[in-house]
A = this chain, B = another copy of it.
Amino acid sequence: MSLGEFDLIARYFARHAARGDVLLGIGDDAAVIATPADRRLVIAMDTIVEGVHFPVGTAAADIGYRALAVNLSDLAAMGAEPAWMTLSLSLPESEAQWVAAFAQGLFELADLHGVALIGGDTVRGPMVITVQVAGYVETDRWLTRSGAKEGDLIFVSGSVGEAAAGLSVIQQSGPGAAASRSLRQRFLRPQPRVELGRHLRMFATAAMDISDGLLTDLDKLCAASNCGAEVDVGALPISAAMREMFDEASCVDYALAGGDDYEIMFTVRPAQVALVPAGCTRIGAITKGKDVRCIRDGLPVTVRRRGYDHFATKDSAP
Chain A residues proximal to chain B, CB less than 8 Å: 1-4, 23-24, 27-35, 37, 40-49, 52-53, 70, 74-75, 77-78, 80, 86-88, 90, 92-93, 118-121, 123-128, 130, 132, 135, 137, 140, 142, 144-146, 207-209, 211-212, 224, 259-260, 307, 309, 315-318
Contacts and interface: CB of A to CB of B under 8 A. Distances in A.
A23 to B, nearest CB: 7
A141 to B, nearest CB: 11
A309 B126 CA distance: 18
Contacts of A208: 28-29
A290 to B, nearest CB: 17
A259 B4 CA distance: 13
A246 to B, nearest CB: 22
Given A1-B212, A32-B40, A46-B121, 18 more contacts: A1-B260, A3-B309, A4-B309, A27-B224, A28-B78, A29-B74, A29-B77, A30-B74, A30-B77, A30-B78, A31-B44, A32-B41, A47-B88, A47-B123, A52-B123, A52-B124, A86-B132, A92-B316
Given A88-B88, A128-B90, A31 B27 contact: no
Contacts of A93: 317
Contacts of A259: 1
Contact of A90 (B2, B47, B86): B47
A250 B137 CA distance: 54
A260 B2 CA distance: 11
B86 A127 contact: no
Contacts of A77: 29-30
Contacts of A130: 47, 88, 121, 130
A101 B78 CA distance: 32
28 contacts: A1-B48, A1-B70, A1-B211, A1-B260, A27-B224, A28-B144, A29-B77, A29-B78, A29-B145, A29-B209, A30-B43, A30-B80, A31-B44, A35-B35, A37-B37, A41-B41, A43-B118, A44-B119, A45-B87, A45-B120, A47-B90, A47-B125, A48-B123, A49-B90, A88-B88, A88-B130, A92-B316, A130-B130
